[in-house]
Amino acid sequence: MRRTLMATLAVSLITMASSGGAKNAVPPKQRQAEFVQEYAKKPCEKPKLAFVTNGVADFWVIAQRGAEQAGLDSGATVTVHMPAEGIADQKRIMEDLVAQGINGIAVSPIDPANQLEILDQIAGHTLLITQDSDAPTSARLAYIGLDNYDAGRLAGKLVKEALPNGGEIAIFVGRMEQDNARRRRQGVMDEVFDRARDDKRVENPNTPLTIGKYTVLNTLTDQFDRAKAKANVEDMMSANPNLGCVVGLFAYNPVLALEALKSGGKIGKIKVVGFDEAPETLAGIRDGSVQGTVAQDPYNYGYRSIQMLNAICLGKPDALPKSGFVDIPAVTVTRANVDAFEADLKKKLAGNASGSANGNPAGNKAK
């Protein structure tokens, strides 16, 4: 009965907030601090925690394994949720979790600037941290991930190695609305153009830019539509016969770029620089069709997110970094280290955690 009442109350509060009715509500940032203090005074014996991605991808399967392993190691109940239908789906998932009495959520916001209202509503009812992609102006307690601008600069260095004499470059990504996409793209461009570090700089993604011996032709988005992602590369090849390098900012982009290059007979003639650790990208690094990739550590995005939320729920406020940022650095993968990198990845994936992307608790196999 008490759980049902709490669920009903949570839903009604979210409804009030979205309609502007909660005029005297505690500010969400203050409420987050209160949650931390309340758990410090009265820890939760077995926290219920959720890891929410920004879509469905192999990258997130690796993160899922980390989140589930953290649940097994800590004794927390962990569910992993992969929204397949964009912002509305992600919003519904988080609202449902609040209604179920979740103790904490780690989310990768799809469009942080346009999700502030829902993120702050969620923060008013449960612990909230971001991972992979940040929402720095929201009430979230902390961000776990990498500095995506610096990661973009690592990719930019790979571009310069691929085209030491300069050339034309095209950038491909799922959505420019995401904080990680914007920062990665700008990092790539600033490195290629040998600019000083400025992670506040924002370039128009649709305007060609030439500085020195390099030209960035365009940045094309696909909204996670795989057919569109491949077509974007094909279109750029067709329209730009001097295209020298394609840069894929999300895990599937270099994979589909390779497919497009193969179909067009351009493997090896147009260089590929990628992000993340898709098997096809790693194979391309081995055979020389991919210059290199900037690999994140999604396993630890999952593991460290659950580890932090669990520690707070167990009454350990010091688990929160004072800076609000847990840096999990990226690594550049090239032919020199691809074998060692893949061996480490396989070791992580061979762990004893199991579950599904549909919200099953860690340790319970999907049915």
Note whether residue 350 is domain-resident: no
Note whether residue 365 is domain-resident: no
- For residues 69-84, give the mean pLDDT: 97
Domain hosting 135: range is 2-145+298-328
User: How far, rounded to the nearest angstrom, does the alpha carbon of residue 128 sit from its chain's CA centroid?
Assistant: 15
CB 170 within 8 A of CB 220: yes
- Parallel, antiparallel or unpaired: strands 127-131 and 143-145: parallel
Confidence of residue 230 (pLDDT cuts 50, 70, 90): very high
Instruction: Note whether 164 and 281 are same-domain residues.
Output: yes
Note whether residue 345 is domain-resident: no
The contacts of residue 325 (CB under 8 Å, 6+ apart) are 142, 143
Instruction: Note whether 290 and 308 are same-domain residues.
Output: no
The contacts of residue 255 (CB under 8 Å, 6+ apart) are 248, 274, 278, 280, 281
- For residues 104-108, give the mean pLDDT: 98
Instruction: Note whether 302 and 282 are same-domain residues.
Output: no
Instruction: Note whether 153 and 266 are same-domain residues.
Output: yes
Instruction: Note whether 152 and 289 are same-domain residues.
Output: yes
Instruction: Note whether 314 and 237 are same-domain residues.
Output: no
The pTM for the full model equals 0.80
For the four alpha carbons of 30, 31, 36 and 37, in that order, the dihedral sign comes to positive
Note whether residue 343 is domain-resident: no
pLDDT at 360: 40
Instruction: Note whether 127 and 7 are same-domain residues.
Output: yes
Dump pLDDT digits (tens) for 14-60.
454 444 444 457 899 999 999 999 999 999 989 999 999 999 988 89
Dump pLDDT digits (tens) for 176-199.
988 889 999 999 999 999 999 999
Tokens 């280290």 belong to 337
What SS3 class is residue 130?
A: strand
Whether the predicted pLDDT of 129 surpasses 80: yes
Confidence of residue 139 (pLDDT cuts 50, 70, 90): very high
The contacts of residue 37 (CB under 8 Å, 6+ apart) are 317
Instruction: Note whether 86 and 153 are same-domain residues.
Output: no
Dump pLDDT digits (tens) for 319-347.
999 999 999 999 999 999 999 999 998 88
Instruction: Note whether 85 and 137 are same-domain residues.
Output: yes
Specify the CATH number for the domain of residue 181. 3.40.50.2300
Task: Give the type of residue at 61.
Answer: V
Number of domains in the chain: 2
Tell me how many degrees the CA angle 65-361-144 measures, rounded to the nearest 5: 45
